[in-house]
Homo-oligomer: A and B are copies of this chain.
Amino acid sequence: MVAVDQAVEDLVQHQNERFVDARLAQESMFLMNRFGSLASALTNGYLRDLDLKVRHYSVLSLASEEQPPTQRELSDFLVLDPSQVVALVDHLEGADLVRREPDPRDRRSKIIVPTDRGREVLLQAEAQVGAASDRLLSNLTEAEQAELQGLLRKLASR
């Protein structure tokens, strides 16, 4: 039903047992890195039918916030080069999911807002991302999932 790479599927399913106890596998840095890429690979699979990747989903999601971002703000928050944001917004604009609107406060800036179609697609995308998340976190209890999310959020806040 959902088109996920077999390789990714295997990884989520059944970790290679050989080095689970290696020193490397106990470092938070390593684990974060691994699950970061695993998370995006898995999510990309779930978003494939919508012709989106996590990057596009992220932009679309932020654009749909109450106060939509400028491209510079997207660049900062998503840690992408401004030129990458250009390409990203070009793609989304080509798919009629977002528009570039002038910033009334600064004529250099452009505010990225969703189109009606963008809002519809976002709903479907959110469902897919949720499914991917459930998949990845499936061997944690609900409480543990919440705990993990809490720790990550605390890590993100200063």
**Contacts from A to B (Cβ < 8 Å):** 11, 13-16, 18-20, 22-40, 43, 54, 58, 61-62, 65, 69, 73, 76-77, 79, 129, 132-133, 136-137, 139-140, 144-145, 147-149, 151-158
Contact = CB atoms under 8 A, between A and B. Distances in A.
B29 A40 contact: yes
B22 A61 contact: yes
A85 to B, nearest CB: 14
Binding site of A, secondary structure by majority: helix, strand, loop or mixed? Answer: helix
A62 B35 CA distance: 18
B69 A18 contact: yes
Nearest to A67: B18
Contacts of A15: 156-158
A84 to B, nearest CB: 13
A38 B156 CA distance: 11
Given A28-B137, A33-B36, A33-B54, A20 B152 contact: no
Given A23-B61, A23-B65, A79-B37, A139 B158 contact: yes
21 contacts: A14-B158, A18-B77, A20-B156, A22-B61, A23-B61, A23-B65, A24-B61, A25-B153, A26-B153, A28-B39, A28-B133, A28-B148, A29-B43, A29-B132, A31-B152, A32-B152, A33-B39, A137-B155, A140-B151, A140-B155, A147-B147
Closest 4 CB pairs of A and B: A36-B36, A31-B152, A24-B61, A32-B39
